[in-house]
Amino acid sequence: MPQIQSDALVFFGATGDLAHKKIFPALQALVKRGSLNIPIIGVAKAGWNLDQLKARAKDSLEQHGGLDPIAWDKLSSLLRYVDGDYNDPATFSALRTALGNAQHPAHYLAIPPSLFEEVVDQLVKSGCSKGGRMIVEKPFGHDLASAQELDRILLAAFPESSIFRIDHYLAKGPVQNMVSFRFSNSFLEPLWNREHIESIQITMAEDFGVQGRGAFYDQNGTVRDVVQNHLFQLLCNLAMESPARKDAESIRDEKVKVLKAISPIGNEDIVRGQFQGYLDEKGVAPNSNTETFVALRLEIQSWRWAGVPVYIRAGKNLPVTCTEVITRFHCPPVTKFTPEGLPQDYIRFRVNPDMTIAMGVSVAGAEQNSPRELAELVASRQPTAEQMEPYELVLTDALCGDSSIFARQDYVEEAWRIVDPILDASLPVFPYAPGTWGPKDAKAFAPPRGWVNPVVDANGKTAKPPHA
């Protein structure tokens, strides 16, 4: 059944950072593509008027992506503004007036989750929620209990089919390409299981610190910030079965099944680290035990994956900025043609800074009777201007009602269930020097044959790992 197109976009938090850095540039890009021609109503309490909102939007475009005069003129004509308290019924009465004849508005909550309940309640009371959709930004809670409470608030006003939980990571081209590669290449399916794959490792490295976001980061840490959302999404794309049908719910069903097969992570399956100097960051508590690095181990107890350990590593102030997956295959038995110590075959997926799919294979050495060497068969490319940026794609899909790349309620709650036991801040956190691969304890806590550290060349392009 065709989905109904939203006929207005309301975004709360119109004067905030997210709007300035991401939303306005995405809106201009959609206007430029000719795919956005509906009223865009910003809501905030800033004491502003429409001209001031337009000035803020124009400044956003000049700083983040570039101002396109023709697209800006069109976007400017679509902008509306409502200023007022979120707990004041008059604000929502003004919003109802600004919506005019719109019957299916999409409400985007680019605001802290603590404000959700009041805004949702006011949307219902004012009639603005009728026929509409709800778009919400992560974090979807800070643990299982808060995620369930957030779902209670949203589901009191909107059906699950009308709730779009944004994890922009799922909208990245390389993340989507990972699933496409798996299911569109028939040679891979017979190998993609516990009989052939020895281990999986996922690394998300950043070569910078908290970048002035100390207060925010100190309330979250690495597990909350990237593991239970972004990296679990990568894992589900790697491990899911092919959906029975092409619809969004069938796709999301398979992802939830992956999480349901993972037991909660125990204290023995995690190493936490904190880069030296973190405690000096503005907004960070003097005695903070928040992790800026984590290495953890889990297993998917399914017919396909039982017995295959999965290692996840993420952190700040590491040597490079790169997100990469390595799936290592079992070594062949030792024979005359397969001597002991052969390089181990693998498949490598790189999500950023470029998109790479590489296969590591054993080949004959250059010299007669020399040991076999590891070579990579590489497909790699940089993003192109024609590709939609993640926020362009999530807004496009939400406005047309396609929920394929959005997290469903049960997915969110299953992800929190897995990490809930390791959110306890009393777990030890080990120091590590900036520019290293985390605390030394993480090196011992490693996949069979060790971690593969991503390599990025001077141009930010992929480079073959020195060993895999």
230 is catalytic: yes
Given 20, 142, 230, 330, the catalytic residue: 230
Handedness of CA 148, 150, 153, 159 (dihedral sign): negative
Q: Write down the residue that tokens 């976007």 correspond to.
A: 75
Give the neighbor-by-neighbor strand order of the sheet with 346-352: 373-381, 355-363, 346-352, 322-329, 197-205, 309-315, 293-299, 270-275, 430-432
The first and second tokens of residue 379, run together, are 């497909």
> Cα(325)–Cα(295) distance, rounded to whole angstroms?
14
Residues carrying an active site annotation: 230
